[in-house]
A and B are shown apart, each in its own frame.
Chain A
């Protein structure tokens, strides 16, 4: 069971709310599909992210994928440790694998609970 203290997008991002801050990351499912990770690019602290738009890009061997934001707001934290050690994403997608923290002003209406996200994954597999 994925962590229930946060919400998910069908596009395999997770979002954990803490007051006016949203912590964003990629689900273990998305990471497992990417396999060998090479490069992660995240926005700088102080920049703006927009709901529904990409905020980062991740390169694995043979593939580049966009990472989408479920919130709009100002980036107040960026996981520089993760950028230097992408293996952490495979080992710890939901804690050490956080990507950015956003002081958010708007959030997606498409965020779903962990159980609904898992149901979606089951549907995709069948």
Chain B
């Protein structure tokens, strides 16, 4: 989380797509969520409060990504920006034989998702990507800042296998064995997201400044109980 925020706030950052996994499994809660309702499910999971909003996610066997970029590279409307990114993920999934689709408009209004249903994957919104069985496959949330630059952080959690505590998640496993496609899926995700933004992907590592900011944010904010349990 510290690295994601560091990438969001970086002074001269290129658009950055970061892929990562959770080891051990973790529980992230949305920026405005109360931590108190999750004490019975956190167990051994490390709980962290995200900078992005939305519902809680158990991160176990999943491919997580963050995309940090100038706001002008995305459509200005939030639904439109989700559509662009989610269509890229849909295309990447298709390259490894995973079928995904978008809701047909019959899902509940998005405001019903909070606060009664605290899990991100419990209630698809119209922009969400669904699995073959019609379950929410990709958890997503954004943070938008206007200073020092107009930038967007987009979080994505693509479920490979549903965690036991949140069995209602859609998953890649519904279509194929995740182990056999995970590397190919990562490559396809990079390629399809870059292509959707009209960019050419170049492998890289965070700058020394970004790494220093990430360490500071991890220590002062994301690793701190006062931030995690602020609500």
A residues neighboring B (CB under 8 Å):
11-12, 33-36, 38-39, 41, 52, 57, 59-66, 68, 124
> Is B221 part of the contact surface with A, judged by Cβ < 8 Å?
no
B110 in the interface (beta carbon within 8 A): yes
| Given A52-B147, A64-B143, A66-B146, A35:B32 Cβ within 8 A | no
Query: A62: which of B32, B76, B78, B150 is its contact (CB, 8 Å)?
Result: B78
Which residue of A has the minimal Cβ distance to B114? A38
CB distance A66 to B145 under 8 Å?
yes
Q: Is B28 an interface residue (CB 8 A)?
A: no
B142 with A63: CB separation less than 8 A: yes
Distance of A34 Cα from B140 Cα, bound (Å): 16
Residues of B within 8 A of A33 (CB): 76-78
Complex Cα gap A80–B79 (Å): 28
Determine whether the beta carbon of A62 is less than 8 Å from that of B77: no
- B144 is an interface residue with CB less than 8 A from chain A: yes
Do A64 and B111 touch (CB < 8 A)?
A: no
Whether B111 and A62, one on each chain, are in contact in the complex, defined by CB atoms closer than 8 angstroms, is no
Contacts from B to A (Cβ < 8 Å) = 31-32, 51-54, 76-79, 82, 110-111, 113-114, 125, 127, 140-147, 150
- A33-B78, A35-B79 known; A62+B125 contact, CB < 8 A: yes
A37 to B, closest residue via Cβ: B111
The reply to whether B53 and A41 contact each other, CB–CB distance below 8 Å, is: no
CB neighbours (8 Å) of A52 from chain B are: 147
Question: Contacts of B114 on A, CB cut-off 8 Å?
Answer: 38
Q: A33-B76, A35-B78, A38-B111 are in contact. Are A62 and B146 (CB under 8 A)?
A: no
Contact B141–A63 (Cβ < 8 Å): yes
Contacts of B51 in A (CB 8 A): 64
16 further A-B pairs in the complex, CB-CB below 8 A; given A12-B146, A57-B31, A63-B142: A11-B150, A33-B76, A33-B78, A38-B53, A38-B111, A39-B53, A59-B31, A59-B32, A61-B113, A62-B78, A62-B82, A62-B127, A63-B144, A64-B141, A65-B143, A65-B145
